[in-house]
Structure 1
Amino acid sequence: MLTILIVDDNLLDLNGVSEHIDWDHLGIKVVGVAADGSEGYQKAMELKPDIILTDVDMPILDGLKMANMIQKNVTNTKFVFMSCFDDFNYIKEAMDLDAFRYVLKPIKLDELTAVIIKIKRVIELELNKDRVQEKLQQQLQVSLPVLQEQFFRDLLYGKWSLESEANEQLISHGIENIHGQYSVAFIEIDSYELAYSHYSKEQKYAIIRKTIDYLAEILPQNVTPYLSNHGYHCIVIVLATNVNNSPDLMELLNSCKAELNEKMKFQVTIGISHSSDRLTHITELFYQAEYAVKNKFYGSGNCIIAASEMPVIDQILEYDLQAIKKELQLMMENGRPEDAMRFIESHYGKNKHFIESHVKSFTVSIVNTLQMILLEKNVNLEEVFGEKFILWDKLYQFETADQIKQWLQDLMKDVIKHSNNLENNRHKKVVEDIKKYIEENFNTVESVEQIAKTFYFSARYANHIFKQSTGKTIFDFLIASRVEAAQTLLLEPNAKVYDVSEKVGYLNNSYFCSLFKQNTGLTPKQYIDRYGRSS
C-alpha cells in the first residue's frame, strides 16, 4: 500500500482532505499530517512517504521550500501542491520541483481524488519498473559467472580479433583488466581412459567438477580469472599477473599438481603457455598449453611441460616390415622372453622423439605381424590376445610412448611363452611317437634318417627335439631299446646269443656283444649265466 503525508496550515482543509477522501479504497494510507512546512519536513524525513500533498503558502516554511529540502534527501517522493493563487510563477516553480499536479483551492474532492489516482498509477508503474530492474539485476548477478565463463571460452577459441573489442567485452562482463601478462595452463588427468572409461557420464562429470572446485579453493582468485573444464578429463586455467601480483607460475602449478596427487588421488600433466599482454593472444596461448600436454607422450606423465621447453618432434620412424617379420619369427623360434626387451630397445630407441602417429602405426604393424605368424602356425589368436582384442582401442588408451612400449613388450613375452608352450607340447608328441615307433620297430630300423623320414622331419631336427626332451639322441634310445629287448630274450630257455642278436636287429654278433656289455656291464653269456641260473 502506498503512503501519503498531508501538510496544510488550514486545519479545515487539512481535516477535510484527510477525512473525506476514502484513502483505503484508493489503496493509500495516510501516515501523517503536518500544520506547517517545518513540521512537514521533519515528518517526511521520518516517514518517507510515497506522496506529499501540501499547501504552498504556509508560515515558518512554505510548501515549495519544504519540497526543495525534502527532494534532496527523499528523491522518489511525488508532490501535489495546493494553493489559493492561480499564479503562473507559482505553478512554474512547482513544476520545476517535479510536482505531479498543482490544484487550486478551494479543493474539489473529486478533482483531487482523480489526481491522486493518476499519481498512484505512475508510482506503481515506476515501482514495477524498479522491481523488474532489480530482478534483472539479480538474474544478471546469478548469471554473471556463466557469462564470464562464456566470455573466456570465446577468447580461447578466437572470437575477437580486435584488442579494443576484447577489452570492451572484458569490462562489460564485470572483469577487471589487469593490464599485465596472461598465460594459459592446460591440465589433463593422466591415464584417464584406462582408469575411468567404464564410468558413466554423470560420474565423469562429478570427478571433473570436484577437481575444478578444489582448484578454485587452492588457487589465488586474483591470478585465475578463468577456470573451467575442457571435456571430462581436462581443465583450462587462464592466469593473469601484473607487477603487483606476479607469483612464480611454475611453483604455483607444481603445488597444484602435488595437491591433486594427494587429495584427488590421480596424476596430472600440466602444460603452460608463453605469456602475452594481449587478450586476443589467449587463443594462441591456449593452443600452446594444449600442445605442450600432448608432449607427455615422450615422457612419463605427472609433470609440468612448458611451451618454451618442448622437444623438437621431427624424427620419422622408418622400418622394413619383411625384415621385422623375420626377426619376430627367429625370436619366437628361440623362445627367449628377454628378447622382447631387446627388440623394443632396438626399434623404438631411447630418448628418441618419433612422431606419435608413427609410433602407434609401427606398433600396429608389429602386432599384426605377430598375429600373421601365429596364424601360419595354426594358432587360435583368441588364446593369445583374448576374445575382444581391439588393437586401436588399446593404443587409444595409452598416453605415453613408454606405456606403449611396456604393453608391447609384455604382449610379445606372452606370445613367446605361448609359442614355447605350443612347441613343447608339439615336441612332446613327436618324441612320444618316435619312442613308440622304435619300440615297435627296433629290429628293422636301419638309421635315424629312416625314423625321421617317417615323421617328415630332417634327422638333425628330429634328433634336436628328441635330445632336448629326453637328454638322449635317437640312436642312443634305439640301442637302449634293443639291449632291453635282448635282456628279455636271453633269459628264455635254450636262448642262443647269435639268435637274439639277429632278433634285435644286429647281424654282426660281435658288435652286438660289444654294445650289450657297454650298456649292461656284462657279456650276453655272463648275463645268461648270472640271471638265467638264478631263475
Structure 2
Amino acid sequence: MLKALVFDDEFIVLRGLERLIDWSEYGIELAGTASDGISALKLFREIKPDLILTDIRMPGMDGLQLIEAIRAEAPDTMCIVFSGYNEFEYVKSAIKLGVVDYLEKPVNIEKIRDGIGKAVKRIEELNEYSSLKRKWHQGLLEKSVQQLLEKGAEAAAAWEEQFGEDSERVKGVTVLVSKEQTDAVPDGEGYRVVRTGGGSEHIVVVFHFDPASEEWMAGLAEWTSAVIGSGRTYPSAEDAPKSYKEAQRALRYGKFLEGKGWVRFEDLGDSQADSPLLSEREEAMLFDLRIGDKEGLLEKIDGYLEEFRSAKLTPEAAEVELLKIVMHGLDVAKGTGGNPSDMYPSGYWPQLEIRNLNTQEEMAAWLRSQMETIMDWILSVRHRSKHAAIEKALKYIGKNYGRDLTQQEVADHVQMNSTYFSLLFKEEMDISYIKYLTQVRMEKAKVLLGAGESIQEISEKVGYQHARHFSEVFKRYAGMTPGQYREGRAPK
C-alpha cells in the first residue's frame, strides 16, 4: 500500500483531509500529518512516503522549500501543493519543482480527489517503468555474466559495464551449478550473487569483495536438497570459465556420489585437473572408469569407436590417439591405491602392442580390451581395499576433526585418489565425507557444551574459525542454537 503525508498549518484542513478522503480507495495509507515545515521534513524522513500534500504557507519552512528538500532526497516522491496564493511566481516555482498538481484554496474534495488520482497514476507509471528498467538491466547483466563464463577475458569489459562500480571491488569469483534453482547462496555484504542459466542448468556466480569471508558458504555447508557443484575460487573475474567448468564436473560427480548436497571441486582430487587434450567423449569414458560404471564405460567406448572409424586417421595418428586414452586410463587406475603393474605380471608395453596391429578394427578391439581390463582391475581393488581404507580414514578423522580437514588430506592418508575415496566412503558409511565430518564435530560440540566451555572455545576445538558459522551449522544439525542446547538438553 502507498503512504501519504499531509502538511498544513490549519487544523481544520488537516482533519478534513483525514476524514473526508477515503484514502484506501486509492490504495493509500495516510501515515501522518504536520502543521509546520520543520516537523513536516522530519516526518517525511521517518515515513519515506510516496505522496505529499502540502500547503505553501507554513511556519518554520514554507511548502516550496520543503518540496525542494524532499525532491533532493527522494526525487520519485509525488507532491501536491495547495495555497491561497494563486500568483504566477508560486505556480512557476511549483511546476519547476515537479509537483503533480497546484490547487488554489479553498480547495474542494473533488479537486483533491483529482489530484490524488493523478499522483497515483504517475506513481504506477513510474513503478512500472522502474520495474521494466530493472528487469532490462538484470537481463543485460545475466547475459554479460553468461558471456563471461564462456569467453573470460574477452567478455570482461562488457561484464564490467553491466556490473557497475562494484566491478572494481571484485577480488574473486566462484561458480556453482545445479540442475534446479537454489537459494543456498543468498545475497550478502561481502559478495554479490548473479544467477543465470535455466532449463537443465542453473548457475550461481559469486563475485567476492572479501575472498577471505566464509559468509557465502553458510547455507551450502548443510545444504540437503538438489546437488550443487562448485568450482574453485579464482582471484579474477576473467577466470570465471575455469570455475564454471570445474563446477560442472563437481555437479556430475555429485549426482553420482550423493544425489543431494554441496560437492566442491576441491574435494574430487587431482584426477579432476583439466585435460585439454581430451575430447568430451574421452573425458566421459574416464569419468565412468573413475566411478566404476563398467556398463557405461563400454557403451561410451563403442560410441567413441564409431567416431574413430569414421575419422579416417593414418595408422600413426590412430596409434597416438588410442595410446593416449589407455595411458589416461592407467593414470585413473593408479588413484585406487593399488599397483596397476599387477594387471600385467610379465610387463606391459602398449606402444609395442598397438604397433603390431594392422587394421583399424584390430586397433578398436585392442582399445576396448585394454579399457575393460583396467575397469575390472579397478573394481577388484576397490572391493578388496574398501573396508581397511575406510577404517583407517575414520581413525584419522577422529584424531584431526578439530582443524581444517579436507577430503583430499584424508584420501592422501589412506593412499587413495580423492574421487575413489569419496565413492568408497559413501558405499561403506552410507553418508558423504563432509556430512560425516560435520556429524563428528557436532556430537563432540554437544559434549563440550555440557562441560561449560564458551561458544568461541568450542567452535575452535571442533574445527570452525568463526563462532557464528559454527552456531549456524549446529542449529541446522541439532534444531536449536548451542546456547539453547546448553540450557535445555546438554548432558550433565
Q: Same fold (TM over 0.5)?
A: no
Larger Rg, first or second structure (1 or 2): 1
- TM score, norm. by length of structure 1: 0.37
